[in-house]
Each structure stands twice: as structure tokens, then as C-alpha cells.
Structure 1
Amino acid sequence: MRRIAPFIVVLALFLTALGRDAFDDWVAQTELPSVLPDTSVEVRDRDDFLLRAYTVEDGRWRMGINIAQVDPRFLDMLIAYEDKRFFNHAGVDTWAVLRAAKQAVLNGRIVSGASTLTMQVARLLEQSGTGAWGGKVRQLRVALRLEQVLSKEEILELYLTLAPYGGNIEGVRAATLSYFGKEPNRLTAAQSALLVALPQAPEARRPDVDVQAAKVARQIVLDRLVSTDVVSDEEARTAHLESIQSERLPFPSLAPHLSDRARRVSPERGLHHLTLSGEVQKQAEKLAAKSIQGKAENLSIAMILADHQTGEIIAHVGSGGYSDRAGRQGFIDMTKALRSPGSTLKPIVYALAFDQGLAHPATLINDRPVAFGGYAPQNFDGAFRGELRVDEALRQSLNIPVVLLTEELGPARLMATLRKAGMHAQVPGGAPGLAVALGGVGTSLEGLVQLYAGLAQGGVTQALAWQMGQQAGVSERFLGASSAWQVSHILAGLEPPKGAAQMRVAYKTGTSYGHRDAWAIGFDGRYVAGVWIGRPDGTPVPGAFGGEMAAPILFELVGLISDEAVPLPPPPPEALLLDTASLPLPLRHFKGRRAVFQAAPDAPKLAFPPDGARLVRSEEGLIVKVRDGLPPFTWMANGAPILRRVHTREAQLPVSEPGFFELSVIDKNGRAARATIQLD
């Protein structure tokens, strides 16, 4: 017997070991569900502030999280209430199972559960129920296997990601954002207690469904935690008094257009960091919505604010509202839409003219009627200013002087400069004409802001960036430093719009043909901004002017980031700072290639009859009129003098025969004007 006893002991130990090994093999062979659940794609700002999140495929809010993002006090409360031996058991709490069994036997019903946090994670991963024994065994097996392949922190993070909180809310981050409007890194005792209570009966205890049920559940958790010394009596009493939000809060949805673009560009990424400032973005979107409220039907707005020293976009607003309210087609990103830029390209024409030595800010240029073949540009108000300085012509945004300069430069040179600045510009028909200087080209707000960022940088390209870590493009000079500064200085001399902050901003406004687009683009020493207002479908907006509608918003936009404008840089050493009289003679007056063939501005001109006129002859003769020139005048018909020394500007020529006549008028200084007419 003495020999058998040791043998029985050894055999028992062997069988026990064999059973244990078989159990371990059974657990090790468990096929686990995916432990990498889909989580919401997130878009964050430069400071890691959540701008926008997207639901997962089944429409649930399920935010990724790690333990470091959660208030440690909440974790203490969760573990103390749900699974106090979480860090000591291997997935199944034997003592909790024995306790639950004993209570069930003594009471004839289940009094308490023995489900560990690991078992709950197993259930959540498999989306299985809790009642059937088969399901319980499966949860036990999965829980034991999870403990073998994951750390306690990883298991806890899965719970924090998957725990149900009512409706389509899963995970503690989605819950705190929805019910408290904040991240879970700092929570009150009352908030933590509610988060502990909700997953046990998420639909019945939802604050947005039954506030009273949520309060009762929170109180149960707090009262039990007092007995564990995790929560003090005073904390529990204070927490009971804390109100509960009865409505779910909306998830952050800032910068929707840029967020959508980030997803399109990198659909495989779950986290996107943008260069935006969340706080400035929020204010910019409020400004956009306010600016078009009560305005013309279907009106939209787009805005960009960027740091032109780095190219990083600080705020980006694609429309006045992302939803399609009031037919405004808010889902369209109007920062990318090609529209007519109106007068916003004029500064580049002037800068090119300065670069080419055609003009200087103090050069005198003539604002007078002019025709280029069949194209006869007019100023916005239809008036002419005569001779004035180039800088004043730019400040007044006159059309004729800039077209004269464009003809001399060539519209192709302007288009090449825009492309060199990194700006996409599309010309209707493909062949640029003189009208490109007045907005006869398709550009976007994003392109214009990039163009002006380069102007602010002294004529060097500055690509806009909207993703953190985005590679900067190769800088290229497209304007001379002196010319860029001269134009910036001219634009900075404009008075701020009526009612706007008195900041020194170099800005230009524009209004496209038919009042379809109202623009304002400008910069100070650090920031560049642009505003577009119009209808997405391109229909006119009667009364829309860039100076009245867009410019005040531009100044508000710049003011969102700074109360005072950052000073513009001083002039570069090569800048020529002279008045008109001190300029070299060729620069005092602008004379393009057409000047060789054109009469002087004050030379006589036939006011009537116009060249090519066909008139009914009269026995009394032909009435003729002359403007400009110096009297006395000599009138001629077909080369023969008819009237001499006429001091009035109207005369009656004794011409009554039918036929063609070449009329001429010669003034005191021998300058002449001619017209060919026909008398019937």
C-alpha cells in the first residue's frame, strides 16, 4: 500500500496536469473575432482639437480611444463597480462566479452577475447575447483567450471603444461628446458615474430618453462606490445635485468641405490632421452664416484665411452652410469653383508693368475712351478721369488704364505669370484676350488667395497647405520684389470699408460681369484672406458689389486672428520712391505702342458726323461739330477748304450734292481729324 499511495498521488497529479493542458489547448484553439473594430474617421486641427468625425459603416458613432485619453478617476470607478479584480484574474473571476452561484441558490433567482470586463468585451466583439448557457460558455472561452493574447490595458481600451451608451453611441468618447460635449479626459464624479451606469441598460437609461431613469442609475452607482471608498460621501452628495443634459449634443462638424477633401485624398486613413485652428474655424463659420442671413435668395459665401509666411490655411469655409438649406447648395465647396475674378487680377497687371519698365506708381496715364478693334472697355461708372497717376488708377480700379497696360504687356504674359504663381486659370475658348485683366478668365478663391499670398511674400510663390506635414512646393519668383512691394503699398493705401475695423490691410475688391461674383482679397504682414459671395449656379445677384458686400467681411475675417493688422514690410532697397516730376522722362507719361499712331489726347475730334455715317442731304448744307482742339478751325471737304477761321465748335458746310465726302477739320496748331460720310 505504501508503494501504491505514491503512485496514486503521481497519477492524480498527472491527470490533473493532463486536464489542465487539455483546457489550455482548448482555450488556445479559440478562434477570436476581430479585435480591431472599425472606428469613426476623425479630422482634427493643428492642436489636435476634433473638427469633425464620421460614423462607421452601420451609422454608429464609435470613436477610437486609448487609456491616456480617459480621466483616471472614471477608470477607477468603472473597475471598482464592474470588475474590482480586473487586474488580477485571467478573464474569469472565480470568486465572483462562486458568489453569484451562492446568491442564486439562497434566493432561488439570479441576484448578481459575475461577468468580468473581459467577458463583456468578448460579448461586444461577437455581438452576442447574455442569457443562453451556450453563449456564456463561448464568452468565457473568448475572454480567457483574450487575456492570453492582449494586455489588460488593451482589453480595457476595447471596452472603452465598444461599450453601448444608447442609440447609435458606442464607446466612452462618443458618449462624452454626445452627452457632455467634451472629451473624456476630465470628468466630474457625476459624469463618471453616469458613464459607468449606462452600458448596463443603455436604452432604458439614456438621458435623452428618460432623464429621471438616468439620475436613478447614476445614484445607484454613486451609492455603491461610497461603500468601496472610491467616492466619498461628500462627493456623492454633490454629484447627486448635478444636472443631466436632456438632449444629445451634435458631434463636431467644423470644416466639412475640407474634411471631405481629406477623406477623398487619403481614404485609407482614420485620422487626418489639418492646418486649421479649430477656434478660428468656428468663428469663421459663424461669420459666414451671419453674413448671408437675410440676404438674396440662394446666396452663398466662401472664405479662406491663411498664414502667407508658411502657406498654412487657418480657416476654410466652403459655403454659408453645409446643408442644402434654402436651395443654397451648401454642399458645394465654392473655394474651388472657377468663377470670374472681376478686378482682383488688376494688381498683377500693374506689377508686371512696373517690372517691365512700362510704368511706375507715379507715372501719368490717360483714362479716356479707347477701342481695340471691336473691344471698347468702359469704366464701371461709365465716366472718364483723364490723365491721372498710375497708383490712383489702381486704387480707383479703373478699367481703361489696366487694359492699356495689358495690351502693351500682352495677355499671354499675364496668363503665364498667373500659372507661374501656381494659380489655375481657365480662359473661355482657350485664347486669352485683353478682357482677362477685367475678369475674363475662370479662377477660384483658393487660387486667388494663393496668388495674393505670393504677392505678400514679395512676388515669390507661396503654395497653400491644408494638411499638417504637407510638403511645401518649390518657391519661384513670378514678380520682382520692388514691383510686388509697390503694388502692396498702393493697395494698403485704400481706406477700410465703411464700418470696418481701422486696420491697415492691402486689399482689392472685384465684381464680375452681371454682378455674379463679389470678391475681396487682402493681406497684412502675416495673414492673407479672401472672400467670395455669389450664387453657386452662377445667376446674377443684383446690387452685389465686392466693395460693399465682401470687403467688410474680409476685415472681420482678418480680425478673427488678430485685433491689429501685422505691419507690412518696408520697401526693398531697389524700390524707386519718386514723385512724377522726379521720374526719368520715359516714365513720366505712359505711352504704349499705340501712341505712335494716335492723336494727342487734346487733338480735335469730329463729334458729328461720325466716320462712316450715311446722311440725308439738305439744301441748307451739312451741320458739323468738333470737340477738343484749339480754334480757329478750318473745315475741308474732299481736300478743298470750305470754311476758314471758324471760332465756334459748330458750323454749317455748304455741301448738298449727293455722294461720298471726306470731311476734315484742322485746328490752330495744324492737328486734324477726318471722317468719310455719304449723302443721299
Structure 2
Amino acid sequence: MLSRKLLRRSATALAGAALLALAWGALEWADRAFPPPIASSLPVSTEVVDRDGALLRAFATPDGRWRLRADLSEVDPQFVKMLVAYEDKRFWDHDGVDAFALVRAAVQFAESRRIVSGGSTLSMQLARLIEPRESRSLGAKLRQILRAIQIERRLSKREILERYLTLAPYGGNIEGIRAASLAYFGKEPKRLTLSEAALLVALPQLPERRRPDRNLELAHAARDRVLTRMVSAGLIDQPEARRAAAENVSEIRRPLPALAAHAAGTALRNAPTEHRHQLTIKRRVQEGLEEVARAAARKLGPKLSVAMLMADAETGEILGEVGSSDFFDPSRSGWIDMTRIVRSPGSTLKPFIYGLAMEQGLVAQETLIEDRPADFAGYRPRNFDLGYQGDVSIRQALQLSLNVPAVRLLDALGPARLIARFRQVGVKPDLPRNEPPGLAIGLGGVGVTLRDLVQLYTGLANGGEVKALRDGTEAGNAALPAGGTILDDHATWQIADILSGMRPPERASRRGIAYKTGTSYGYRDAWSVGFDGRYVLGVWVGRADAAAVPGLSGYVSAAPILFEGFAKSGLAAVPLKAAPPGTYRPKRDELPVTLTRFSTDGGLVATAPTEPAPQIVFPPQGARVDLGIASGNPMPLALKIQGGRAPFRWLANGKPLATIERRRTASWTPDGAGASTLTVIDAAGRATSVSVFVE
């Protein structure tokens, strides 16, 4: 008898276990057969962020939603605690369903015939967000419960919270904590006030009714209810709640950030499948430049636009770029990125003409040059003011931006040599097709972009080394040209020294900036490009349709914007680079006879030389010579030339040696180890140079 009972009990237990196993297997099968629609990645707004990850611009999702991905580490921890305490206080402990809360909600409903408290967990709410249903039936609730259990099996608690905070509705087309915080408070949700956190906790329950931009009183009341609940939960004390309740709720819905519109658009076009694009831009710099550009355009008048570009001369990284004064202003053709449009640069290329002439030993800062009417095989340049200064120093000629002296130097150098220097550092000026470069390129008779100019000027700020510009929008991480040397460091310092002596515009704050202005033919473009010891800023002013603007000029129209841009960039001023070893600026009475006055015959003879031009045969170009400098008693370096007309003037790093030699040999004892440039000038004014390294 006893054995039969045991058998029956054993059979019952086995049957129960089998049923449980069958039920569990069925649940496992159903879970796999009908998984929750959890996408590996949520459809979110495409973001363009700055070098530090700060949001520059967001693009709405294809269905028109502002939905930014939430990262729990970037959300105020106090807000998270309040959310869990208000919506699902046992969130960290349950497996998707809070049975106690469900029972309590059912009892309260049965007693009062209305919903007193909800039993939905955050996991159930996420289930409703990823699989929305209009019905609020018992069947829909049961489906949410099952989906919540499935979600908990697949996602961690952190992932559940992040998805909820990405999808939660906050009114209108705003979804997620980040979009809501930016729209209602103008900031990321990393640091929220108690009042702001309480409002963001309250909004998702009734997002349309509680929107502060439409129903301010209801928003206030909802926020205060959350604060009261937090006091009851022990998260905050009563005085804190009173202070938070006394704060006003903003009734403004702000637009999401739309900075660097042109760069953001370029990044999106070059990598359309990416949802996050990081640029080299610095948000603070970008905000300052855009503010300056908008204000300047309003002051300049209708249809005029402003473009600005700031770069780090040491790295080539673009820190701020403004393609137009207002991307959304059709009257100024704001959608056109004027940093990339080819225009005439006016006089902004002149510093490179003077620098090349100094590098070749043709002139020094105090060399005199004629500013008088001149005819260059039919080309007759005139100055901007149609007047002439007579004899001026090279320093004065560049600072006054005189046209005739610049063309005289370019004629001696050869326009092709200047263009070759530009090309070797990655800048390819736009020249007339099938025509060699002419003298007019020195006065703006060539096409360049604002990006080209800023890239060239990184060389002047960086000891002659040009850095290729990049902003992070480059397609497929395309390789950029490496840049190169535009001028040797001695000539570069001389040019920076001259440009740093330029008079700032009226009422501009002094910042230690070296700068140059330019105005294109017909008053179509005004330019100003400046630099300190680290940063380069370029400014263009004009009309996008290239129409003439009477009265437009680089000094009057663009230079004030340059100085204001530096001031509003938020970047600390960096002193201009010190002179390289062996470089100095001789006074006029210290100049050798061949550098006293510039002329095509050196100012010494009236007939063209018949002998070959001088050529340095020792030391050869690029030589590395051990003179025993480390011993403290260096040997002199022997110098030897062939050709040329005596007497000869030698210069080491731009500094003339003590004597003028009639022989074709000389010697030089360096001040220290390092790279040096040796130049010889003959009586006909012809020069040649070599670069060596002495040690």
C-alpha cells in the first residue's frame, strides 16, 4: 500500500517536472521564435561634434525626430536617481516586472475604479517605446510584461536605461533626454539643476500636455509633484525642494545647435552612413567666429557675406570655419561655402614675393626700392591710391602694400618661381589655361581660396613650414599633402617682423598679430589674413555672386573683422616666434653696397653682365659639415664660388659678413650648430644660395 502511494507521488512529481520542463522549453522556444524588436543600433539623429565631443550640429531622423543617443555616463546622476525613484524604484532588482507594483496597482484600481498608480517598470516602458501600440487593453499590458522579461534577458540594466533615455518622448518631435535638455535648457544633460531634473522626469508621462513651451502651468505642477515625491523618497530634503520649486521653468523651446553648417554638411556628404562625425573644430572658437561674422555682415549691409577660417599653424587642424555669415540667409547666398570658392586674393600674396627675394639675398628690410611708374613689357602696374611714394624701404613697401615695388621684385625673381613654391606646399593657384604665370599674379591676378591663403600663412606663423589644412571632413580619411617649406626660417622671420609692424585698424585691440590685407580688382573681394605664434585666421568679405562693392577694401572692411575674430575666438595669444640663430635686421647704414638699393643691375653698373651668374661650389647644397663646434673652438668654413662679377658680398642667414671680397673664396665661422643658409651676391646684383648643416 505504501509503495503504491510512493509510486503515485513519484509519478506525479515526474509528470510535474516534465510539465515544467515542457513549459520552460515552450517559453524558450517562444522567446527565440518571437524575439523583441531590439535593433542592434537605434535610429538616431546624425551628430557632428567638435574635437572634444561637444555637439556642433544635429540632423533630424528620416521621420523628422530629434533623437540623440544617450550615454549614461554623460547624464546627471541625480536625474537618474530621481527617474528610478519616480518611475521604478525596484528597477535594479527586478527582472523586468515588479510584481508588488502590479498587485498594488490592481488593488487600487479595483477599490477606486480609476488608475491611482501605474505598475509599469522602465523595462515595460521601453517595450512600449520600441513596439508602440495604441490599445491600453489587458492584452497589450500582458504583451508589455512578456516583452519586458525578454528585454531584461538580452540587455543590461545600463543598456535598458540608455535606450529608454534615447527614445522617451518629451513633446513634439523631441525624443530622448539629450534633445530635451538642449531644447528646453540649451545645454547637455550632464549637469542639471534640481528643478530641471524634476521637469525632465515628469515630461515623458504626458509629453504634449506638459510641454513648458505650450502649457507652462501644467509643466510647473508636474515638476512640483516630482519634487514632492523625491522628498517622500528621501532623495532630497524639504528646503531643497522649496528652492527648486521657486525656480522659473523656461517657456522657450530652443533650436538644437547648428554650428559649422558648411563643414557639417560636407562631413555628411563624404560619409553618409556614419551617425557621428568628429571634426577638428573647437566649439568655443566656432561660436565666436560665427558671432563676429553675423554682426559684421549686418553692419556691412545687404547681400554682403563674410567667411572666416582659423587654423593651428603647428598641426594644420582647422579650429573654426565659417563659410558664410548666415547659412540660412538666402539674400547673402548663405548656403555657399566661401572658404572654398576661388577668388582673386588682391595683395595678400605679396609677403611671399618679398620673402622669396630676401631668401635669395636680393633685398633686406632697409633696402631702398623705387615706387615710380614703370613699364614691364607693356604691363604698367599702379598703386591702389594711384599715387607713388618715390624711394621707399622694402619694409615700407610691404607695409604700405605698394604695387610697383612688388612687381619689380617679382620680375627679378620670375613668376614661375613663386608659383612653384606655392605648388610644392600643396597650394595650386588657378591660372589662365595654357598661359604661363605673369607678373599680375603678385597683385591678385590669380585664383585662390580662403583655405589656400590660410594654408600658405601657416608657413609664416610656423618658421616657413606649411601645414596642410584638415578639419575631419575628408572623405575616407583621404591622405593629405604633407605641406612643405614655403620660405627658409630667416626670410620667414623677416616677413613676420614686417607684418607685425602693420598699424591695426581703428579701435582694434592690440594682440601681437602680424597681418596683411588685400583688395581684388573692381572691389569684389576684401581680404585680411593674420597670425600670431600659433594660430592663423583668414577673413574674406564680399558678395557671393562676385558683384562689385564700391568702397570695399581689405583694411577698412576685412581687417577689423580679423582683429575681432582673434579677440572672440577664446584662444590665448601666442607671441610671434623669435628670430632664428644668426638672423638680425641690419640698419640702412649697415647694409653692404649691393643691398643698399634694389635694381636689376645691382645699382652698380649700367650694362648687362656678360659673364655667367655666380654659383657656390663649396659647400654644396645640403652638405653636413663637421667644424668641431661642440669643442668650443670651431674651424672656419671655406666658401668658394665660380662665375659672377666681383666684388662679392656674402651673407650667412641674412647677415652680411664683415668684408666685401673680390676673390672667389672666403671663409665663415658660424655662431653655433644647426641649419644655415649661405648667400652670395655679385656686383650685378645676381644671387645664389645653399643650405647647409654645420656641427
| TM superposition score category, shorter chain reference | 0.7 to 0.9
Matched residues in 1 for 2:272 and 2:604: separation? 61
Matched residues in 2 for 1:458 and 1:228: separation? 64
Distance 1:400 1:599, change over 3 A: farther
* CA distances 1:494-546 after superposition (whole Å, capped 9, x unpaired): 22222211333211110000111111111122221111111111001110111
> Out of 51, 54, 57, which is 1:46 matched to?
51
Aligned pair 1:302/2:310, yes or no?
no
How many residue pairs match? The answer is 599
In structure 2, the residue matched to 1:493 is: 501
In structure 1, the residue matched to 2:683 is: none
* CA distances 1:20-55 after superposition (whole Å, capped 9, x unpaired): 332233223223324321122222223332222221
Aligned pair 1:89/2:89, yes or no?
no
Higher mean displacement: 165-174 or 414-423: 414-423
Matched residues in 2 for 1:363 and 1:180: separation? 61
Contact residue 95 and residue 152 of structure 2 kept, 8 A: yes
1:459-474 alignment, distance < 5 Å:
459-467=464-472, 474=482
Q: Secondary structure at the match of 2:57?
A: strand
Contact residue 123 and residue 129 of structure 1 kept, 8 A: no
Aligned pair 1:524/2:529, yes or no?
no
Letter matched to residue 11 of structure 2: F
1:518-597 alignment, distance < 5 Å:
518-561=526-569, 565-575=573-583, 577-592=585-600
Matched residues in 2 for 1:56 and 1:111: separation? 36
> Out of 358, 369, 374, which is 1:370 matched to?
374
> Out of 489, 494, 519, which is 1:481 matched to?
489
In structure 2, the residue matched to 1:412 is: 416
User: Which has the larger Rg?
Assistant: 1
Letter matched to residue 405 of structure 2: P
In structure 2, the residue matched to 1:660 is: none
Shift in Å at residue 274 of structure 1? 2.5
Letter matched to residue 138 of structure 1: R
Letter matched to residue 377 of structure 1: P
Letter matched to residue 5 of structure 2: R
What's the % identity of the aligned pairs? 47
> Out of 211, 228, 235, which is 1:230 matched to?
235
Contact residue 201 and residue 226 of structure 2 kept, 8 A: yes
In structure 2, the residue matched to 1:675 is: none
Contact residue 338 and residue 444 of structure 1 kept, 8 A: yes
Aligned pair 1:379/2:383, yes or no?
yes
* Unpaired runs of at least 5, structure 2: 609-695
Shift in Å at residue 370 of structure 1? 1.7
* CA distances 1:233-285 after superposition (whole Å, capped 9, x unpaired): 33333332221111112212222222222222333332223233322321221
Shift in Å at residue 17 of structure 1? 3.4
1:62-101 alignment, distance < 5 Å:
62-101=67-106
Letter matched to residue 31 of structure 1: P
> Out of 86, 93, 112, which is 1:107 matched to?
112
Higher mean displacement: 23-32 or 585-594: 585-594
Matched residues in 2 for 1:573 and 1:55: separation? 56
In structure 2, the residue matched to 1:329 is: 333
Contact residue 462 and residue 534 of structure 2 kept, 8 A: no
Q: Secondary structure at the match of 1:509?
A: strand
Contact residue 292 and residue 568 of structure 2 kept, 8 A: no
Shift in Å at residue 356 of structure 1? 2.3
Matched residues in 2 for 1:224 and 1:584: separation? 88
Contact residue 46 and residue 468 of structure 1 kept, 8 A: no
In structure 2, the residue matched to 1:162 is: 167
Matched residues in 2 for 1:218 and 1:567: separation? 52
Shift in Å at residue 472 of structure 1? 7.4
Matched residues in 1 for 2:570 and 2:177: separation? 37
Matched residues in 2 for 1:561 and 1:158: separation? 37
In structure 2, the residue matched to 1:348 is: 352
Higher mean displacement: 472-481 or 546-555: 472-481
Letter matched to residue 180 of structure 2: A
Shift in Å at residue 475 of structure 1? 4.4
In structure 2, the residue matched to 1:659 is: none
Higher mean displacement: 349-358 or 572-581: 572-581
TM-score (norm 1): 0.83
Contact residue 97 and residue 121 of structure 2 kept, 8 A: yes
Aligned pair 1:2/2:10, yes or no?
no
In structure 2, the residue matched to 1:171 is: 176
Shift in Å at residue 397 of structure 1? 0.9
In structure 2, the residue matched to 1:444 is: 449
Shift in Å at residue 111 of structure 1? 4.0
Matched residues in 2 for 1:70 and 1:578: separation? 62
Letter matched to residue 512 of structure 1: S
* CA distances 1:390-443 after superposition (whole Å, capped 9, x unpaired): 222111111111112212222111111111222231013352211111001111
TM-score (norm 2): 0.81
Matched residues in 1 for 2:293 and 2:568: separation? 12
Matched residues in 1 for 2:460 and 2:444: separation? 18
Shift in Å at residue 566 of structure 1? 3.0
Aligned pair 1:396/2:400, yes or no?
yes
Contact residue 361 and residue 391 of structure 1 kept, 8 A: yes
Matched residues in 2 for 1:501 and 1:433: separation? 38
